[in-house]
Amino acid sequence: MTTTATTTTPPVTVSTPSDREIRIERIFAAPRALVWRAMTDPALVAQWWGRGNQLVIERDERVRGGHWRYVEHAGGESHGFEGRYAEVVPPERVVRTFEWDGMPGHVALETATLEDLGDGRTRLVSVSLFHTVADRDGMLHSGMEGGIAQSYAALDRVLATLA
């Protein structure tokens, strides 16, 4: 399956390389060092990850073995997300686990790679591996695609302020 969410910003391409994976691809109109900074500096992550909702970064220890925990506040509700870093290789690669409080124990392993396209743009490829097909399908049908498009559009705006 491959679908493309068309917006006024660059498209997000979502595909399923295997029955337990989701692959997300998005190009950013900014150099890799800047995209890396916007995706790893907690003060900047707080500006785009929540898509306009308040995001509290309780922990974000970006080293191998470090933990992260973000809590998004929206409409009187809070949603926590957390995991642990397996690999942090600036400015190109982060591997970490991802777990939503609403489904504890359902852990995805995310491998995010930033590729310098050589023309001032950067390609992000993120592959998430789930324990089961059901976990993968649950994420796929959670409305994630629209949420990710919104997050990355907000990230575009953060990148514009850094340029």
CB burial of 132-145 (b: ≥16 within 10 Å; e: otherwise) equals eeebbeebbeeebb
The pair of three-digit structure tokens given for residue 155, joined into one six-digit string: 């990230």
131 near its own copies, rule: CB under 8 A: yes
Nearer to its own copies, 50 or 83 (CB): 83
85 near its own copies, rule: CB under 8 A: yes
Task: Dihedral sign for Cα 80, 60, 32, 128, please.
Answer: negative
The pair of three-digit structure tokens given for residue 28, joined into one six-digit string: 């950013």
Q: CA-CA distance, 61 to 80, in Å (whole number)?
A: 16
Among the listed residues 1, 2, 8, 65, the single contact to its own copies using CB under 8 A = 65
125 near its own copies, rule: CB under 8 A: no
At 137, is the secondary structure helix, strand, or coil? helix
86 near its own copies, rule: CB under 8 A: yes
109 near its own copies, rule: CB under 8 A: yes
Nearer to its own copies, 65 or 76 (CB): 65
Contact positions vs its own copies (CB under 8 A): 64-66, 84-87, 95-97, 99, 101, 103-107, 109, 129-132
